[in-house]
Homo-oligomer: A and B are copies of this chain.
Amino acid sequence: MQVTYLEAIRQGIWEEMERDPSVFLLGEDIGVYGGAFKVTAGMLDRFGEERVVDTPISESAIVGAAIGASFMGMRPVAEMQFADFISCGFDQIVNFAAKCRYRWNAPVPIVVRAPSGGGIHGGPFHSQNPEAWFVHTPGLKVVQPSTAYDAKGLMKAAIRDNDPVIFFEHKALYRRIKGEVPSADYTVPLGKATIFREGRHLSVITYGAMVHVAAEAAEILEQEGISMEIVDLRTLLPIDEETVLASVRKTSKAIVLHEATLTGGVGGEISARITEKAFEYLDGPVLRIAAPDTPVPYSPPLEEAFLPNAGKLLEKARWLVRY
């Protein structure tokens, strides 16, 4: 069945709620309204008010309550209306959820959903990609799918996982990307990257919406006789270092691409690991492509200049191949 990225997420949540009565949802406007993006549409009717909880505007309480419910054997899925508001529940995530297992052996099986990313003219507070903060927080798992198949499979895996998972959903993919999704139950394992497209001359390591930017560039490079491999990380923490390194060892050249701003982003981590562990294989510097270090601007010409795109990738890829 061909479904959108959004519908795939919706199905993932829905099926887990059907299979496991301990799964429940909480967040702002997720019930009657079905969520700002309609990811939870229909769920209130199906599962009732106790399992689809419309909360006050309280991100910290939403995350906190999810944690508390998880201690009682539940598997809460909390929605941040936009990923930009996750900073309002930050302490609960990084200090409470992330550390309980380590500190006192108390697992926190929660999922925090966070619609992230730009390209929708949302401006500085409806466009951010804050994944790197969480990648720097041991105890969390961090996910960002790029396809409908992964979106559903990762959501189901995240809900079943016994650790706290921050699940970034790229808003620009919600209705733009469609894909085949099996009707039978399946999961996509957390912590495993995938080779989105095979290639020989260079590797681009990326995730989320940028996978499609990379794919666009790869098509063009193909015409030029350049074969670019695309590694889709899918899970950002724990990082599937092996898949990344295997690709780079094969191609000897690597570009890390993400939509989040450059400095302190996930790209630095990936680049550092490549240099540290595949230095001998490298036939050129590991390059990074990311948004510039600014807030996400609102006006279309500014946002267009801000976002990484195929053109920027092509330029660096051609340079690196020639290196």
Name A276's contact: one of B135, B269, B271, B273 (CB within 8 Å). B271
**14 A-B residue pairings within 8 Å (CB atoms):** A87-B94, A98-B295, A102-B124, A102-B294, A102-B295, A132-B132, A133-B136, A138-B294, A263-B269, A265-B269, A268-B268, A271-B275, A272-B288, A279-B282
CB contacts (< 8 Å) of A282 on chain B: these are 279
Min CB distance A50 to B, Å, is 29
Q: Are B267 and A272 interface neighbours, CB within 8 A? A: yes
Q: A268-B273, A275-B285 are in contact. List 14 more A-B contacts (CB 8 A).
A: A84-B95, A87-B94, A90-B91, A132-B132, A132-B264, A136-B261, A136-B263, A136-B264, A139-B295, A264-B266, A268-B270, A271-B275, A276-B288, A279-B282
Q: Are B285 and A279 interface neighbours, CB within 8 A? A: yes
Q: How far is the CA of A138 from the CA of B128 in the complex (A)?
A: 12
- Contact residues of A with B, CB < 8 Å? 84-85, 87-88, 90-91, 94-95, 98-99, 102-103, 124-125, 132-133, 135-139, 237, 239, 256, 260-261, 263-273, 275-277, 279, 282, 284-288, 293-295, 297
Min CB distance A247 to B, Å, is 17
Q: How far is the CA of A85 from the CA of B96 in the complex (A)?
A: 12
CB contacts (< 8 Å) of A132 on chain B: these are 132, 136, 264
Min CB distance A117 to B, Å, is 16
Min CB distance A137 to B, Å, is 8
Q: How far is the CA of A260 from the CA of B269 in the complex (A)?
A: 14
Q: Are A263 and B276 interface neighbours, CB within 8 A? A: no
Q: How far is the CA of A88 from the CA of B93 in the complex (A)?
A: 11
CB contacts (< 8 Å) of A94 on chain B: these are 87
Min CB distance A86 to B, Å, is 9
CB contacts (< 8 Å) of A90 on chain B: these are 87, 90-91
Min CB distance A61 to B, Å, is 14
Min CB distance A63 to B, Å, is 12
Q: How far is the CA of A87 from the CA of B88 in the complex (A)?
A: 9
Q: Are B275 and A263 interface neighbours, CB within 8 A? A: no
Q: How far is the CA of A66 from the CA of B294 in the complex (A)?
A: 22
Min CB distance A302 to B, Å, is 11
Q: Are B138 and A263 interface neighbours, CB within 8 A? A: yes
Q: Are B272 and A276 interface neighbours, CB within 8 A? A: no
